[in-house]
């Protein structure tokens, strides 16, 4: 009996895999979308890491590159540097400028947000009890929502970043508490029912189901070349554009949510070195990310069926331009934003 059941399961799995493969090859799905809308992530935290002027960098992205789709990040330590004292100076500027140029903004809130070490908690909050930390965290989220929910630039809220990713930043963030995530999503939706909630997941690692079923909008990352700390070497993910199309179709079918909007929220366009970029020789940076790799990544992403894509690495482009007098990335990426 067991062998019969096993055979049926194997056959069904094979049929499902074959069906998904076929779906991924259907011409309308396999070809690049007719139009891809590009944006960037911008983070003051990231600009500060590179020791470049964050405001100058942000203005250049808007005024020179012409970026009109942004993912901005409300890191808790930046918003509330001391307990019960909020500093919205940087975010106010970013949102105001976005409004001035007519840009759309995804605004990310949470504990786990873009930029290493992934989990961003103010030093003062680390000393609190679990209950006190929980209360302070939701006060921070509420303060951000109340301040920006009426902004004409706001498009979506992002809640956390890759909450269910496997094997990355475990020491810093641990395992995501699904119940806590559910409460956080509900909290954001209750305080601002007018803007959808975006949830994100790794493109290459793990399934998307847990994220997809909770999301109003889904965002995947897409990385081709990374450093694997466990293997202690650089690796290239053995993925193809069809992998992403299959994964998307599988998720749509198994969650019963085929109409969920989906984007590439983090398309790798900067090097992934062993040490911080600023401590890495320029030659090594350009070995890990150069225009040939960038163009290959863009072409790859265009075939994944996602028609909205946000680059990761815009601060690095400006760092190359201003610190190393290398405008090659800046000039190349300008082509994506002047519609």
Residue 233 to residues 228, 274, 324: CA-CA distances in angstroms?
6, 9, 27
Q: 218 pairs with which residues across the strands?
A: 199, 262
Give the per-residue pLDDT at 167: 67
**What confidence tier does 10 reach under pLDDT thresholds 50, 70, 90?**
very low
pLDDT tens, residue by residue, 106-161 = 999 999 999 988 889 999 999 999 999 999 999 999 999 999 999 999 999 999 99
pLDDT tens, residue by residue, 163-200 = 998 766 556 666 678 999 999 999 999 999 999 999 99
Residue 43's nearest CA partner among 100, 122, 108, 119 is 108
Q: What interhelical angle do 130-148 and 89-101 show, nearest 10?
A: 30
Tracing tokens 């993925």 back to the chain, one arrives at 239
**What confidence tier does 1 reach under pLDDT thresholds 50, 70, 90?**
low
Residue 260's nearest CA partner among 199, 203, 304 is 199
Model-level pTM?
Answer: 0.90
Q: Can you count the helices (H) and strands (E) in the chain? A: 16, 10
What SS3 state is found at 179? Answer: helix
Work out whether strand 308-312 and strand 104-109 pair parallel, antiparallel, or are unpaired.
unpaired
- Token readout for 202 is 């790794």
Higher pLDDT, 42 or 166: 42
Contacts of 265 (CB under 8 A, 6+ apart): 41, 71, 106, 158, 198, 200, 219, 220, 221, 310
pLDDT tens, residue by residue, 199-254 = 999 999 999 999 999 999 999 999 999 888 778 899 999 999 999 999 999 999 99
Determine which of 24-28, 97-101, 117-121 has the lowest per-residue pLDDT on average.
24-28
Q: Which domains does the chain have, with CATH numbers?
A: 31-336 (3.20.20.80)
Q: How far apart are alpha carbons 280 and 300 in whole angstroms?
A: 27
Q: Please say if the pLDDT value at position 339 is more than 80.
A: no
């Amino acid at each position: 009996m067991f062998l019969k059941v096993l055979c049926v399961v194997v056959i069904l799995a094979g049929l499902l895999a074959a069906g998904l493969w076929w779906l991924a090859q259907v011409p309308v799905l396999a070809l690049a979308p007719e139009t891809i809308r590009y944006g960037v992530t911008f983070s003051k935290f990231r600009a500060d890491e590179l020791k470049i002027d964050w405001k100058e960098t942000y203005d250049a992205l808007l005024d020179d590159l012409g970026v009109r789709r942004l993912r901005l990040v409300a890191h808790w330590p930046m918003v509330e540097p001391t307990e019960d004292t909020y500093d919205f100076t940087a975010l106010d500027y970013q949102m105001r400028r976005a409004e001035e140029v007519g840009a759309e903004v995804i605004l990310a809130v949470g504990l786990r947000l873009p930029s290493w070490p992934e989990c961003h908690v103010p030093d003062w909050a680390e000393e609190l009890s679990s209950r006190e930390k929980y209360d302070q965290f939701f006060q921070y989220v509420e303060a951000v929502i109340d301040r920006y929910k009426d902004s004409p630039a706001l498009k979506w809220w992002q809640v956390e970043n890759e909450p269910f990713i496997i094997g990355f930043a475990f020491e810093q963030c641990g395992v995501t508490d699904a119940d806590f995530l559910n409460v956080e999503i509900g909290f954001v939706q209750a305080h601002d029912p007018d803007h959808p909630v975006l949830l994100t997941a790794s493109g290459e690692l793990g399934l998307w189901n847990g994220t997809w079923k909770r999301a109003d909008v889904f965002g995947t990352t897409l990385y081709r070349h990374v450093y694997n700390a466990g293997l202690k070497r650089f690796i290239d993910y053995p993925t193809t554009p069809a992998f992403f199309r299959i994964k998307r179709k599988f998720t749509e079918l198994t969650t019963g949510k085929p109409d969920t909007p989906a984007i590439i929220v983090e398309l790798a366009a900067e090097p992934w070195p062993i040490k911080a970029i600023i401590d890495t020789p320029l030659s090594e940076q350009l070995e890990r990310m150069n225009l040939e790799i960038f163009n290959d990544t863009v072409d790859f992403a265009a075939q994944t069926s996602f028609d909205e894509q946000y680059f990761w690495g815009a601060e690095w482009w400006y760092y190359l331009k201003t610190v190393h007098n290398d405008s090659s990335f800046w000039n190349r990426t300008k082509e994506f934003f002047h519609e």
